[in-house]
Chain A
Amino acid sequence: MDWTAVRLGRRGAVAVVAAAALGMSACSSSTGTSSTTSGGLPATVNVVSINPQTGPAAFAGLAANKGYDLAIKEINDTKFLGSTTLTLSKVDTKGDIKTAASSASTAIADKSISAIFGSVSSQEAVAISPLVQQAGVPTIYTQAGSDGVVVGDATYRATPLMRSYYSLVKKYIQDKGWKSVGIIHTAAAPTLVDIGTKALPAIATELGMTVTTTVAVQGTTQDFAAPISQVLASKPDVVAILLVGAQNPTAMKQLRQAGYTGDVLGNSGASAGNLKPAGADGAGMVWPVDFNYQQKAEASQKFVKAYQAAYPGENPLNYAAEAYDAAWFLAKSIKAAGSADRGAIKTAMATVAKEKFDGALGNGLTWKDRDIQVPGVMIRWDGTGDVLLYEGAAN
């Protein structure tokens, strides 16, 4: 999902991109051709992760970096690229768009960098994408669900768009027999606006349900008593709360305080333990997500075990799983290219993306328009942890 809560104004984004582009052209006139050896793999292939490791999105950026680290360790340990070692360096964007854009410019200008793992932040990714696409640097994002991230043949996204798997809620709605839904969604995350105003209403129409009311809240909203009051006044059978991570426990608590005791349709922003502060009031929120550590696919469980061995006491989050698959996708592309050259890797990525594969995110993974497609899983929060309800079918 797009975790971002605040959008950069269009003018601001244009200014950042323009400034970074100027900076890039000032320090390099490269068209993206790497100075690494063409026609054969060098001893080391360098990749950089440009992700927030501090700031509001640090939870996603840090988890993604763990996934990259794990995959790259496996790639090197198993000598997947022969005697070639994949080396990852990490840049902390600190949640700052300008830092993300300038870091991308630096990576583009550094001919020893063959590819980039792009930011989990939509705002940062939107600033990075035009630069890497123009320079032809293969870039794989995770999260960053907004438009303007996957902009050309150099840019891929290893997180499925939420709308591609949100239809998993249909089965749950049908089992419960709900006939109406009231929706509260944030206006600050494009992905959740899309789910709240298009995807979920379309599902409701398909299932013969009515949408009793739809209320948008700002990204800065912290008290949801008023929108909850409005939604409950419309007397829906079920309430959908489509908010960014930190807003979810508050909304659940206030929903219970307002007297609503039923299930709540949510989104993956409620995962990663975000509902813990709501305590028992958080129980009953259900949501589809692209990955959960309990999912049964063999490749997923292999990843989970490797992750738990690498990070004892931790269960992997979807951010790590997505990054893990992104790193393996890149490794396969490098191997197919037989070169660390950016252009060759980019061409190989298009070929590798045509193949179905099994990964941390499940079996039968595919790419569509350079966005990964996954079966997905349905999760219910029981007040203390995730409960796997059911899994989507592999493609």
Chain B
Amino acid sequence: MAVLQDLLGALGLASIYLLFALGMSLTWGTIDILNFSHGSIFMFAAFTAHLLIPGLPFGFFGIALVCIVVGAVLSLLVQVVAFEQIIKRARNRNTAERQILIGGIGVAIIPLAIAQEVTKSNPFGFIDSGFEVTTWTFMGLRGTNILIITLAVAAALAVGTAMWLRRSRHGLALRAIGVDAEVAAMMGVDRRRLAIATMAVSGGLAGLAGCLFTYTLGAITPESGDTLLIKAFACIILGGVGSTGGVVLGSVLLAVTETIVLTRTSGLWVEAVAFGLIFLVLLVKPSGLFGRKEVRRT
């Protein structure tokens, strides 16, 4: 039973990693934007909801909606104000990618600084939000209502994203951009519009992850997004950039590995073992478990 309990905990952790990583993977795998402000957007969405709660006890769906909207708007702003300008001015694609990476880190500092200034880096949560995290027991297993919601949302969004990318016209267009943006443009794909929409969806996912993560942990800090950023980066690399299935597998592998190490050792080895495992996988399969070989024209 203890093993099943740990497995349930690991799946909960994997769901958080997945929700966070899904948005990053979406932009990285399609419009070539590795958005390092994703963690700040994640945090700031939850932070905004936290600020609004005292006057408006929204309940779970209200809080989730606020987080999604704030995340989407922030991400959209980052795209329009920062990344688009970088792409316009960059000499070539490689330069643009590097500058977007640095630009994302720079942009991330703004919401982080605001939240740090307001909270003085104290933890914040959703107290009195009108939604209580309750505990249940089923056949000896213990969990919470937010764990069930997180598992369900993560599974639904992973399947939904994969289906949308694979079957919808927009998804096809996005994947076309991911393979070759120039050819996609010649085929009539409006890269700018799709990029903005993709960034907004990615930000919305970050906001939703922020909402669920805050409810799961009870409280987060302004720096919480930074830690998850590294984990999400690892999940995407492990699974393979551009593969939704890969992100799912990467998230599960990382969470299960961390849980095994944490429950079977003194705990100090958790990141060494988890990231060591990723290193080993990449030695054998550099493009990640589900990754494709990149074909890039010069």
List residues of A whose CB falls within 8 A of some B CB: 54-59, 62, 187, 214-218, 220-223, 225-227, 229-230, 233, 245-246, 249-250, 252-254, 256-259, 272-274, 276-279, 281
- A257-B144 in contact given A226-B263, A246-B221, A278-B218 (Cβ < 8 Å): yes
- A226-B262 in contact given A220-B271, A277-B219 (Cβ < 8 Å): yes
Q: Choose among A58, A216, A250 the residue that contacts B219 (Cβ–Cβ < 8 A).
A: A250
Q: Choose among B217, B221, B224, B266 the residue that contacts A216 (Cβ–Cβ < 8 A).
A: B266
Q: State A277–B122 Cα separation when bound (angstroms).
A: 10
**Inter-subunit contact B116/A245 (CB<8 Å):** no
**Inter-subunit contact A56/B16 (CB<8 Å):** no
Q: State A119–B218 Cα separation when bound (angstroms).
A: 30
Q: State A233–B263 Cα separation when bound (angstroms).
A: 10
**Inter-subunit contact A216/B123 (CB<8 Å):** no
**Inter-subunit contact B220/A222 (CB<8 Å):** yes
For window 206-220 of chain B, which residues contact chain A by CB distance below 8 Å?
Answer: 216-220
- A277-B218 in contact given A217-B267, A223-B16, A225-B13 (Cβ < 8 Å): yes
Q: Choose among B113, B217, B270, B271 the residue that contacts A250 (Cβ–Cβ < 8 A).
A: B217
**Inter-subunit contact B142/A249 (CB<8 Å):** no
Q: State A247–B258 Cα separation when bound (angstroms).
A: 18
**Inter-subunit contact B267/A56 (CB<8 Å):** no
For window 256-298 of chain B, which residues contact chain A by CB distance below 8 Å?
Answer: 258-259, 262-264, 266-268, 270-271
**Inter-subunit contact B121/A59 (CB<8 Å):** yes
Query: Which residues of chain B are near A187, meaning CB under 8 Å?
Result: 267-268
Nearest to B269 among chain A residues (CB) is: A216
Nearest to A253 among chain B residues (CB) is: B218
Q: Which of B4-12, B24-32, B97-105 contacts A (4 or more CB under 8 A)?
A: B4-12
Q: State A333–B271 Cα separation when bound (angstroms).
A: 48
Query: Which residues of chain B are near A233, meaning CB under 8 Å?
Result: 2, 263
Against A, the Cβ 8 Å flags (1 = close, 0 = not) of B186-230 are: 000000000000000000000000000000111111111001101
**Inter-subunit contact B217/A223 (CB<8 Å):** yes
> What is the count of residue pairs linking A and B with beta-carbon distances less than 8 angstroms?
123
Q: List 6 A-B contacts (CB under 8 A).
A: A55-B121, A59-B120, A215-B262, A256-B135, A259-B135, A277-B124
Query: Which residues of chain A are near B217, meaning CB under 8 Å?
Result: 222-223, 250, 253-254
Query: Which residues of chain A are near B185, meaning CB under 8 Å?
Result: none
Nearest to B13 among chain A residues (CB) is: A223
Query: Which residues of chain A are near B142, meaning CB under 8 Å?
Result: 257-259
Q: State A250–B122 Cα separation when bound (angstroms).
A: 13
Q: State A249–B217 Cα separation when bound (angstroms).
A: 8
**Inter-subunit contact A62/B120 (CB<8 Å):** yes
Query: Which residues of chain A are near B224, meaning CB under 8 Å?
Result: 222
Q: State A81–B214 Cα separation when bound (angstroms).
A: 51
Max chain B Cβ within 10 angstroms of own Cβ: one of A56, A187, A249, A257: A257
Q: How close is A271's CB to chain B, nearest CB, in angstroms?
A: 11
Q: State A227–B265 Cα separation when bound (angstroms).
A: 9
- A277-B127 in contact given A220-B271, A227-B262, A245-B122 (Cβ < 8 Å): yes
Nearest to A258 among chain B residues (CB) is: B142
**Inter-subunit contact A220/B259 (CB<8 Å):** no
- A54-B116 in contact given A226-B258, A258-B142, A277-B219 (Cβ < 8 Å): yes
| Residue B117 interfacial (CB < 8 Å) | yes
- A215-B266 in contact given A246-B221, A257-B142, A276-B127 (Cβ < 8 Å): yes
Q: State A226–B254 Cα separation when bound (angstroms).
A: 13
Max chain A Cβ within 10 angstroms of own Cβ: one of B124, B142, B221: B221
Query: Which residues of chain B are near A226, meaning CB under 8 Å?
Result: 6, 9-10, 13, 258-259, 262-263
Q: State A234–B285 Cα separation when bound (angstroms).
A: 39
Q: State A29–B64 Cα separation when bound (angstroms).
A: 60
| Residue B125 interfacial (CB < 8 Å) | yes
Nearest to A221 among chain B residues (CB) is: B270
* 8 A-B pairs with the lowest CB-CB distances in the bound complex, closest first: A277-B219, A277-B125, A253-B218, A226-B262, A225-B9, A246-B123, A59-B120, A250-B217
